[in-house]
Structure formats: C-alpha cells, structure tokens
Amino acid sequence: MERGIVILGKLARSALRSQRIPQINHPLAPEIHFKRQHSRSGSDCKEIWEMLSQLPLFAGGEIVRGFGRGSKELGIPTANFPLEVVKSLPESLPTGAYYGWANVDNGPVHKMVLSVGWNPFYNNKERSVETHMLHDFNCDLYGQTLKICIVGYLRPERSFDSLESLIAAIRGDIEQAKASLDEADKAKLKEAPYFTEKLCSSK
C-alpha cells in the first residue's frame, strides 16, 4: 500500500471532479500575523497567505507511531503521518495549528485539530503532522489509513513556558475548531467524497 498522498488546490479540483468544494471564507488573521513578522520579507508573506488561501488541503496516509507524548503527557492523543507524507506537503504551508475533518479507514468523519511543524516545546528534529480527532477511539490506530481535510488555520507555532500552558493552548484550539467547523461552508467538507474513496498514490 502506498503510504500517503497530498492533494491541494487546483489538483484537488481536478483529481476529485465529483466533489463540489465550497468557497471557504478565510479570516484575515493569518495575513495580519505574517505581515507583522519582521523576520519575513514581503514576498514571503505573500507566498504564505496565498498558500493558506488555497485551503482546503486533502492528505492521507498510514498512521505510524509518533513520540507517544500526546496520550501520555498531554492527554490529547494524536495520529501521526509517516515522514514521506509530511515531506510531500507544500513547503510554503506555514507551521502552526490547523483545524478540519478526518476519518480512519473510510469510517465516520470527525472534527479534528492538527499541528504542522517542529513542536518547539519538545525541540523535534523533523517536521511532523499530528492529528487529534475529536472522537474517542479507545484503541490503537497504527497501520490504519488516516485521511484529513485541512480547512483552516488557527495560530502560528510557538514554544511554551510550561506543559500546562501548552495543554491550555491546545484546548483553546479545540474549542475554536469546534465552532469554526459548524459554519456552513466548512461543515460541507465533512461530506467530501474523498473520505469514502480508495486512497491512491499520486505517482
């Protein structure tokens, strides 16, 4: 089995012709944030904003073992993609917290939040994509197929001065995601045919 695929923007519309992807109203917060980052040039800010404006982004792949911190330390279990899926994401996709929809092995679709980046609190050596589905599976999901639809951006990646602060931020992300995904244009993506179709390689 191929371990993953990423479909974005025009490619998504071409590959999933049967799917009517609604126009998503993206907030201005990401654009404002990146314009305020002095470390980025104007062209970088424009590239990042253009990347975010192309959402939704669809990705899928096998669930692999991560660091085991989500359940043990945070009480927030995550499903992790293999490195090849992470590396296939657009380079201009900014690190940070996102929200959207996800399912496992073509099962029911659930709300989710996910982290894209280096997790500076833990000083990761590789970029990761960690998905927390707002559903209790009560079992290990390793080896099963995770499909996600990244709908929107929540906040940039940053470090925290304590584990408690990190957990509080993630809890805040979850509440914001729940509310945003109830909006009509975003709720429609829960019914995307992608979640029931066989995962095929883009090769």
* Sheet of 110-117, strand order: 4-8, 57-62, 145-156, 96-104, 110-117, 128-133, 79-80
Please tell me which residue in 31, 50, 62, 130 is annotated as part of the active site. Answer: 130
Amino acid at 174: I
- Looking up tokens 């899926």 gives 85
- Measured at the alpha carbon of residue 106, what is the angle toward residues 5 and 173, in degrees to the nearest 5? 75
Q: Which two tokens stand for residue 88?
A: 């296939």
Q: How many CA atoms lie within 13 A of 26 on its CB side?
A: 22
* Catalytic residue list contains 130: yes
Q: Tell me, rounded to whole angstroms, the distance of Cα 133 from its chain centroid.
A: 11
Q: What's 195's DSSP letter?
A: G
Task: Give the DSSP letter string of 51-63.
Answer: HHHT--EEEEEE-
In angstroms, the CA 172 to CA 179 distance is 11
The token pair that represents 73 in the structure block: 């330390």
Positions annotated as catalytic residues are 130
